Amino acid sequence: MTMKSRATIAARVLLGLVFFGSGLFGIISHFKFPPNLPPNLLTFVQGLTASVYFLPLLKTTELLCGLLLLVGWFVPLALVVLAPIIINIFFTHLFLEPSGVPMAVIIGALEIYLAFFSPTYNPTIKQLFRKDV
């Protein structure tokens, strides 16, 4: 096994654990959040909760994509589905809770590595950016 394939597996499993755990915790906790959230973040989360459908959809998506990453099935699909979620995580922390920015950057780096630099998955992802004539 090459060093590149080990790095790919490690990144995939780590990203899978993050999203599987986040989705599972969100579902088990019935979409409840800690009471000590900063006011701006609390308002944001209350808005998501008020929509009724969004948090169950988000946490179920995180759980399923995390599971796909963990078992190594449909990884390019999971990466594409998780991309906007990761962007939202980054901007939520950037604007509402800056202490979470380092973790968001790490999650984003794992996503970028797997999608664009991993020899295992980048050929599939790069096809999405191909210009068909």
Residue 88: inside a domain: yes
Average pLDDT along the chain: 93
Would the pLDDT of 31 be above 80? no
Residue 36: inside a domain: yes
Q: What pTM does this model have?
A: 0.92
Residue 89: inside a domain: yes
Residue 48 sits in which domain range? 3-120
Residue 36 pLDDT class (50, 70, 90 cuts): confident
Percent of the chain with pLDDT over 70: 98
Percent of the chain with pLDDT over 90: 80
Number of folded domains in the chain? 1
Give the integer Cα–Cα distance in Å for 47 and 62: 19
**Pick from 66, 59, 2, 58: nearest CA to 25:** 59
Tokens of 133: 């004539």
